[in-house]
Structure 1
Amino acid sequence: MTYNSPLSDGRAADLAAALAATDPQTVLDIGCGWGELLLQLLAAAPAATGIGVDTDPRTLARGRANADDRELTSRVAFLEGQAAELASGPADVVLCIGSSQAFGSNADALRALYPLVRPGGRLLFGDGIWERPPSAELIEALGGKDGTTDLAGLIDHAISAGFRPLAIGSATRAEWEQFESGYLADWEEWLVRNDGHPEAAAVRGTADAHRDRWLRGYRDVLGFSYLILGRPA
């Protein structure tokens, strides 16, 4: 799985190009995982340096290895911890994709991210949205707390936080299918090779339950937005 969100290679390239066009010197990726988009942005913006922050040491190790493979090690640091503690100051570009829960709601996240973006800088904010109203059963299946809004509501939150929306996009069904298939792939490949394994029943149950939640639950209901937001100078 290349990205830990429903994101195609084409959309990723377009986002990286749009952000690189602002000629950033500093980039901060909050909840970076293995930092694939961060690395693509640094490759497209050769004057920039980046910091990726996450709490998962395994994904950070993958990011460091990928940076080494692309000869970007001197321009990026992958740090374990919280962004508020590790950020050295406002960055020209801030990435926060699928990590709003670290701040509370998406509205909370946008307010918290505002001071981390340099005046005149950009925030790439990726977050879940409702494509259509969810059932009470779906909300419960996804954790029981509905802090998600529709796309229009998310834009309202961004404006209330002080940002201006410069580009608005949402993941396609094809991007979701690629993401969900990738999420399930390790389990399914293992099951194909290890059908008689003592743990196969448990792995099969986990994979089938997730697929069922997707196909019979949140497919075409839960969406994912990609917003390029500008902080006024």
Structure 2
Amino acid sequence: MDVWKFYDITHREHVICNPTSEEKLTRLVELLRLPVNAQVVDIACGKGEFLIRLAEAYDARGMGIDISPFVIAEAERRLQTRAPSADITFTQMNGADFKPGEPHSLDLASCIGASWVFGGHATTLETLICMVRPGGWVIVGEPYWRQEPSGDYLEASGCAREDFGSHFSNAEAGEQRGTELVHTIVSSKDDWDRYEGLQWFATAEYARTHPDDPDLANLVERVSKARAAYLRWGRDTLGWAIYMFRLRSAA
């Protein structure tokens, strides 16, 4: 089954394709206090919710990038509905290939919940830091271990122990690379339940309305296994947070 078709189906009910809430995203946007017409990029932008909110709040200008054609189409539709005059473009491409016109030129660079694009949390931070001006924002969303994962959970989820660190190590990684951690927005179990549960709901709806899809059996099996792993282990084991880093000005 095509990976982006899978994520399109399982995330059709989501406004935000991460385990956080609309209220927390609103708070993030408020705390940024960007200048009018701030220059921004959001890597792995999903349906564009964060970028559209930046345009609505600050007349931000910039680009949202995602490798999935499905979410790019949805992001463009939302932009035309909510902020049709905004200087925002959505582009389907591998986010790892994006380079701003000039290094250290953006007011904000973000990659929320997709550090796999750059090969991990540390390299994501390093890449985004090179994009923003001194005093600019580096915003990332990253999982962390709430507790030591069991071998059974790692096997069932397909994760490796070294894929993620602790909440502290996620924060420290930014501090060690010349940014200041100014805030974290930590997801609750309710946020996780919403994120995971909407995938189950969307899959059930798709199965009900598309019974002849040849990919259906594979879809249902994958979601069922993920649901069991989440309920048995993941809900108590894996956390997630948005980290707000600001690039320190040169001395």
Q: Does 2:34 align with 1:22?
A: yes
Alignment of 1:59-208 (within 5 A): 59-83=71-95, 84-89=97-102, 90-145=105-160, 146-192=162-208, 202-208=218-224
* Number of residues of Structure 1 aligned to a counterpart in Structure 2: 231
Aligned to 2:68: 56
CA distance in 1, matches of 2:222, 2:184: 34
Aligned partners of 1:49 and 1:64: how far apart in 2? 15
For structure 2, the residue ranges without an aligned partner over 5 or more in a row are 1-13
In structure 2, C-alpha distance between the alignment counterparts of 1:107 and 1:77, rounded to whole Å: 27
**What is the alpha-carbon distance in structure 2 between the residues aligned to residue 125 and residue 11 of structure 1?**
14
TM-score normalised by the chain length of structure 1 = 0.90
The 3-state SS of whatever aligns with 1:152 is helix
Q: 1:106, 1:147 within 8 Å by CA — same for their partners in 2?
A: no
Q: Work out the CA distance in 2 between the residues paired with 1:57 and 1:195.
A: 24
Alignment check: 8 A CA contact 2:110 2:128 kept: no
- Partners of 1:33 and 1:149 in 2: CA distance: 24
2:142·2:240 contact (CA, 8 Å) conserved in 1?
A: yes
Shift of 1:18: 1.2
**Worse-matched range after superposition: 140-149 or 115-124:** 140-149
8 Å contact kept, 1:188–1:207: no
State the alpha-carbon separation in 1 of the partners of residues 205 and 177 from structure 2.
44
Tell me if the contact between 1:64 and 1:73 (Cα under 8 Å) persists in the aligned partners. no
Alpha-carbon distance in 2 for matches of 1:204, 1:58: 20
Q: Select which of 13, 24, 46 maps to 1:11.
A: 24
- 1:144, 1:172 → 2: CA distance? 21
Structure 1 residue 207 displacement after superposition = 2.9
Change in 2 beyond 3 A, CA 1:223/1:95: same
Deviations 1:72-95, CA, capped at 9 Å, x for gaps:
354101112244434323310112
Q: TM-score, normalised by structure 2?
A: 0.84
Partner deviation per Cα, 1:125-175 (whole Å, 9 max, x = no partner):
111111111122322333343220010011111111211101012100111
Question: What RMSD in Å do the two structures reach over aligned CA positions?
Answer: 2.2
Over residues 200-224 of structure 1, what are the superposed CA-to-partner deviations in whole Å (9 max), with x where a residue is unaligned? 6555433321210110121121111
Q: Distance in 2 between matches of 1:204 and 1:115?
A: 41
